[in-house]
Chains A and B, each alone.
Chain A
């Protein structure tokens, strides 16, 4: 009896997982733009001054056309910060939409390589590509701290 129940539960779990996977791989992505936001937190300048090692801005950053194609960088610190060519005053935001796939490179002193690379990816095709995109999106929640 318990064994039969276990088989039933296992079958239900497998079915649900397959259904969820199929949905994630084939359901169309929500239309309209979404944002990938990076925040320079309050106190970043003083932490840099103290010599606290800060992991730099992730590079490359991937955005997806039509889905998450707006890059937003917000300076929550009390002093001016520069991310590549973007100079942000205290509590200022830079918001840039990308509507075409491509690659942008910025010189950025925050990076060990000296460059911040942005990949604007085409919308992921149905199937594995879309499944992977959804997993990444879920992992990062579309919001990251900068520098981390």
Chain B
């Protein structure tokens, strides 16, 4: 095939690929915010006792919705659907927190909210406060509220028209999706699963106690230093350290020290596999990082930025102390 034909073929393949890539980026079925921004933070009294602060719920997917305990139709529908989302998540249900914020501070006490939300799911949190406390939260999430008196009823007889969207906040506290009332349970579940999977992926690999051995500056040629770290895989799939870089070195290689009947051998290895749930230590006398071509002498107390690249988790930075 001619060079021009190959280029055309390549362009066609790219064009074919583009919709797939775009579809991947816009995989949410609820309304998604791009780029995602931090969800407005708040702290309110909860039906479980104590206070709930949104920014302290990091690590969980938060499903936030608004309503009131006298709500006859809309709120029970939303809460029953969110209970379904949790039950269908099975083992992952514990990683999701449903939060129901009152739009009726006059009648909704924490006790009332406790009785109300627990008929749907014991883990749901009902939040309330004074109008002064709740007002900024309603405003930040664009909740509109209109009180409607019920004709012929008593002084406490009124309904509250309110926005009944479900806000989906990811494990890093970012507002990702706003699903309007009426979004099918399947779609909310779908979006929650995407966020849980992404969170599992992001946090699967953890780097523990990174450090680098001190090294002098050599007068004739650049010297090397060894780097160590413990790699923990908290995910369910194996991963592998495949390469690394350091801000103070020209290159970094992964090496293994082996004792061949008393003779210490150092060998370059292509990767270090970290099985699911395992801790693999890069330590003196075993696997280590070889920082080659140091740009400076490394003395105790200095820090080195290491970037470790994993097959699945990608690049992860660590600040290593020089010892």
Contacts and interface: CB of A to CB of B under 8 A. Distances in A.
A86 B142 contact: yes
How many chain A residues sit at the interface, stated as a range, is: 20 to 34
A56 B126 CA distance: 36
Contacts of B163: 84-85, 106-107
B142 A95 contact: no
B33 interface: yes
A96 B30 contact: yes
A116 B178 CA distance: 16
Interface in B120-143: 140-143
B178 A93 contact: no
A134 interface: no
Most buried by B among A92, A93, A107: A107
Nearest to B26: A95
Interface string A86-113: 1111001111110110101011000000
B162 to A, nearest CB: 9
Given A96-B32, A107-B144, A107-B163, A86 B26 contact: no
Given A87-B142, A94-B31, A106 B178 contact: no
Contact of A94 (B33, B144, B181): B33
Interface string B31-59: 11111010000000000000000000000
B165 A85 contact: yes
A140 B168 CA distance: 32
A96 to B, nearest CB: 3
B286 interface: no
Nearest to B32: A95
Interface string A1-14: 00000000000000
B34 A93 contact: yes
Contacts of B30: 96
A82 interface: yes
Contacts of A92: 33-35, 37
A92 B176 CA distance: 12
Nearest to B164: A85
B184 A94 contact: no
A124 B19 CA distance: 25
Contacts of B146: 107
A95 B165 contact: no
A86 B163 CA distance: 11
A84 B163 CA distance: 9
Nearest to B40: A87
Contacts of B184: 100
Contact of B178 (A71, A82, A85, A102): A85
Interface string B256-280: 0000000000000000000000000
B214 to A, nearest CB: 47
Contacts of A87: 140-142
B29 A85 contact: no
A82 B139 CA distance: 10
A87 B163 CA distance: 13
Contacts of A99: 29, 187
Contacts of A89: 37
23 contacts: A82-B142, A84-B163, A85-B141, A85-B143, A85-B165, A85-B178, A86-B142, A86-B178, A88-B33, A89-B37, A92-B34, A92-B37, A93-B33, A95-B28, A95-B31, A95-B32, A95-B34, A96-B30, A96-B180, A99-B187, A102-B182, A106-B163, A107-B146
Closest 4 CB pairs of A and B: A96-B31, A107-B144, A85-B142, A87-B142
Interface of A: 71, 82, 84-89, 92-97, 99-100, 102, 104, 106-107
Interface of B: 26, 28-35, 37, 140-144, 146, 163, 165, 178, 180-182, 184, 187
